[in-house]
Every structure is written in structure tokens, then in C-alpha cells.
Amino acid sequence: MKNEHAHNGVQAVTPHDPRFLDILTDMVLWCADDGTITYANTRAQSWSLTHLAGQPLVSLLLPDSTGKGERFFEAARRASPQQPTPPWELMLGTSEHYTSAQFYGYHDTDHIVIVGHAEPAHVGRMQQELVDLTSELAETHRQIRRQNQALQKALDEQHQLLDTIQQLTMPAVPIWERVLLLPLVGYIDSQRAERITSQLLERVSTARAHYVILDVSAIADIDTAVARHLIGTAQALRLLGARPVLVGISPELAETVTTLGIGLHEFVVQSDLQHAVAYVLRRLRKG
Amino acid sequence: MLLHDIYYDYLAALRQGDRRRALHITRSALNEEVDIRDIYLEVFQPAMHEIGRLWETNEVTVAQEHLATAITQSVMAHIYPHIAVRPPIGRRVVATCIGGELHEIGIRMISDFFDMEGWDVFYLGANMPTDDVVQMVNAQQADLLAISATLNNHVIKARDMIKAVRASPRGAKVKIIVGGHPFTKTPDISTTIGADLTAPNAREAVARVQEVLA
């Protein structure tokens, strides 16, 4: 510490050669015993808009640093040139653009010498930028989590709604003696297709149905898995002695079926429900 | 594990700048069913105060203080999903703080506490221009505006902000709560500068606001 002073030239200088003090990159201040600045070199003065001489030392500091600045001055007052204070970190500038500086000080005969070295401005800016970034990141993080919670809630509600719709779907309606109508509505996935099939087979067997009309005109979308399932259902119906009649095939379903390379020979195919009913009634009368 | 021990562990992690450990300590506490509110008020808040005090006594550098702030913000963001949010109660709060991001933690705690009670929280970051705050309060038809101020010279800015909000259409309806160091020290200034109420911590803030709005 002692060598550092010699290096900075602080011990060697006196108030009588102020030009030498003014070319130093360190801040050099002399204070009276009550903390009033009696001298400030150019570097120290550059940190203040008002003339520092006559002001209290803490006026040089950021308001955040006032309390700490007073404690530092107390320590400097008790320190000697041979054993100055350890470095104290104090803040300069404004709350928005502050710079931290290392100060040390000691009591020399009738005044207190304070020497300070501000860190390069970009270090402070970098630190501030980092805090800002962390703050933004943390806030974004929280917002995402908040949104996820809201989405999860919306999703749960949607699932409940879907469950309700599935429960509302009638498996099969008897429209004539031994004739069941199965209107398929909405989106059908493999799971739903399986459930519909098992319910349908149950109904067919208890109603001893001879004909089952499957209306697929209101189905949103049929993928190959569901198309295969339909074929399987038709086969099962045949085994139970019921004849499946398919109506409402959309161009998309027709395409899916041809792509699959499976024939619809298990089904009697009719263009719409009216034709299907007419067909079934004709067959029943004949039968 | 006692809250006090968690606090010491957490403070040690902050002093070492160990973000992972800070997060681990907090998660373990939550796993042991420690109330998240207690972690906020008995761990984070005193730990940050202690870091500030250590800076004051020249035991940590401002860089370490910045790091501690960043770590605590990050931990708070990570544990957010643990917050059991009550169903929405249809009340809205706009929250902002005067001064830089270093002083944001207090108002974030307030935001989370109101969040937990089912409020819709509109969090405005630090140093938000007064016009933006006024605009947000009116656009959201806020029931409450929460302003935090850390330093004494922030109080004047808070007063100006309150004045601007009061002069706006929602000004008569919105309740204004202020908090932070200057108000904890001298609670009376809160009413002098035109706020409706103040509170020393987030838990008290929620309780007092609910009383006023009931």
C-alpha cells in the first residue's frame, strides 16, 4: 500500500504544485476534519457539476453511497500515511449511470487525503447491462410460465369439452325394426373408432339388427387408420349377421380408400341417407 | 429445516455467487413444503438486505451485489411454477418501481404475492416513464397501482407519478400503494405524497389492500 502511494506520487506532492496533481488519472482530494473538501484535483472535479471545494466529501458520491461514504471518511480520519485505509468501493455519477470507484485515505498533519480511482466507464455499463438483461430474462421467463399455466388450463377445459361431446355421441339409433342408424360426427381418432365399434357390435347383437346404416358424411377427417377400422367393423358386422350400408362418402374418403388398395365390398354403398333407407326397406320387404 | 438455516445457506450461496446452489437450496425448501411466501420474506428479502449491508460496510463489491440480485431474480423466475395461484378474482394491479433494475426485487415480490391471491398482475419494469404507467392504469382499469421506491430521492419521482395518475380518468378509482425503504422508515410520507396506503412487506401489502378494497 505504501509503495502504491509512492507510485502514484501522492506522498510526494504538496498543494504548492497543483499542476502536477491535475495531470494524474487518480482523483485526489483534501478534506478538513469535518469532511469538507478543501481541494480537489481536475480528475476529482470532473465527477461533479458543482465546484467541490467547500462541499462535503459525500456530495461527490451517489446518494446510495452517502452512508458508506461517511463510514469511509471516518476510517480515513483514523488512518495514517504509513497505514492508509484498505480500498473502499464507492459510487459516483447518477442512479441511472453510475461508476464504482476505489478510494483510500489517511490523516496527514492537518488534513485528510483521499485518493480515488474510478473503474473504466465501460465496466460499469457492462455490469448495468448485465443486470438489465437478467431482469428482462427473468421477466420473460415468468411471463412464459404464466402463459403456460393459462394454456394448460385452456387445454384441460378443451379435454373436458371433448369428453362431453364423446359422451353425447349416440352409438346407434334404431330407425326401423332390425335397422340401426349410426351417424358419425366430428373428429374420429383410432381410440374413438374402437369405442364406437364395440358399442355398435353390442347394439347390433342385442337388437338382432339385419342392417346397419353408417353415415360418415359429417366426419371431419378420416385417416388411413380409421378407414381400416371401418373395414374391420364391416367385417365384424357381417359375422354378426348384419349388413353394413355406407353412406356419405366424401371425395377425401374415396381417395383414402383407393390409396389403401382395399375394396369396399364388405359394404353396400349408397350416395345418401335417403337412398340408403329406401334400399334397406326394399330389401326388408323382399326378405 | 428451519427458515433461519435456509436463510444462512442461501446468503452463503449469494456471497459465493453460486446460482445453482441458491436454486438448489430454494427447491429443496419447497420440496420440504416450506411456504413460498416464507421463502420470499424470510430468505430472499433478508438475504438481499444483508448483501446491501455488507456493501455498506465494504465487505462485498458492487459487482457481487449485482450478481446476488441477478441470482435471486433468476431463482424467483425458476420457482414461479410452484406458486399456487388462486382462481382469478377479477382484480387488476399495475406494478412498477422507481430506480434501476437493481431495486426491482421488492416490487417483483409484491407482484407474485398478488398473483397468488388471484389478481391479474401487469408488471412494468424499472424506470418506466410516468406516461406509460398512467396509460397502463387506464387501459387496464386497474384497481391498484403499486409503486416501489428504494432511495430517498425516489420519493419525489413517486409523488410526481401519483399526481399524474390521479389527474387521469382512472385516478379517482384506483388505489395506490407505495413501498420500499423510505416508506418503511417513515410511513407517514406515503399519504403526504398522495398514496392511499403503504406496507412494510409483501404479505402486509396484500392484507391491507384487501382490507381497503373489501
* Cα A71 from chain centre: 44
Under an 8 A CB cutoff, do B101 and A146 touch?
Answer: no
The span from the CA of A261 to the CA of A253, in Å, is: 12
Determine the pLDDT at residue A130. 80
How far is the C-alpha of B125 from the C-alpha of A131, rounded, in Å?
A: 12
Chain B residue numbers touching A63 (CB-CB < 8 A) = 151-153
Task: Report the pLDDT value the prediction gives residue A128, as an integer from 0 to 100.
Answer: 76
Strand B92-98, strand B144-149: pairing:
parallel
Q: How many CB atoms lie within 10 A of CB B184?
A: 12
Residues of A in contact with B99 (CB under 8 A): 95
Cell numbers describing residue B101:
433494475
Q: How many angstroms separate the CA atoms of B63 and A9, rounded?
A: 29
CA atoms within a 13 Å half-sphere pointing along the CA-CB vector of A102? 10
Contact between B101 and A64 using a beta-carbon 8 Å cutoff: no
Q: How far is B73 from chain A (nearest CA, A)?
A: 6
**Cα of A100 to nearest chain B Cα, Å:** 8
Nearest to A145 among B55, B80, B123 (CB): B80
Query: A149: buried, middle or exposed (CB in 10 Å: 19+, 13-18, 0-12)?
Result: middle
For an interface test with B, the pick among A71, A123, A139 (most B C-beta atoms closer than 10 Å) comes out as: A139
A247, B48, B71, B73, B107 from B65: Cα distances, Å: 74, 8, 10, 12, 18
Q: What is the pLDDT of residue A203?
A: 87
Residue B66 at interface with chain A, using a CB cutoff of 8 Å: yes
- Per-residue pLDDT at A2: 45
Contact B133, B168 (CB under 8 A): no
Residue A147's pLDDT is 82
Tens place of pLDDT per residue across chain A (287 aa): 444 444 555 555 565 766 788 888 899 999 999 999 999 999 999 988 889 999 999 999 987 788 899 999 999 999 999 999 999 999 888 766 778 899 999 999 899 999 999 988 788 778 778 878 887 887 787 778 778 878 888 999 999 888 777 666 667 888 888 899 988 877 777 777 888 888 888 889 888 999 999 888 877 677 777 778 888 888 888 899 999 998 988 887 788 778 777 677 778 888 888 999 999 989 888 76
- B58, A146: Cβ pair inside 8 Å? no
Give 10-residue mean pLDDT values along chain B (214 residues): 92 96 96 93 94 92 88 88 79 88 83 90 85 94 94 87 95 94 90 94 94 89
Rounded to whole angstroms, the Cα distance separating A277 from B2 reads 77
DSSP B168: S
**What's the pLDDT score for residue B194?**
94
Percent of chain B whose predicted confidence (pLDDT) is above 70: 99
Following DSSP, what letter does each residue of B45-78 receive, concatenated?
HHHHHHHHHHHHTTSS-HHHHHHHHHHHHHHHHH
At residue A58, the 3 state secondary structure works out as: helix
Report the gap between the CA of B80 and the closest CA in chain A (Å): 7
Q: Is B167 on the interface with A (CB under 8 A)?
A: no
* In contact, A211 and A180? CB cutoff 8 Å: yes
CB contact under 8 A, B80 and A141: yes
Give the residue from B26, B55, B101, B154 with the most A CB atoms within 10 Å of its CB, the best one to mutate: B101
Question: In this complex, do A127 and B62 lie within 8 Å of one another by their Cβ atoms?
Answer: yes
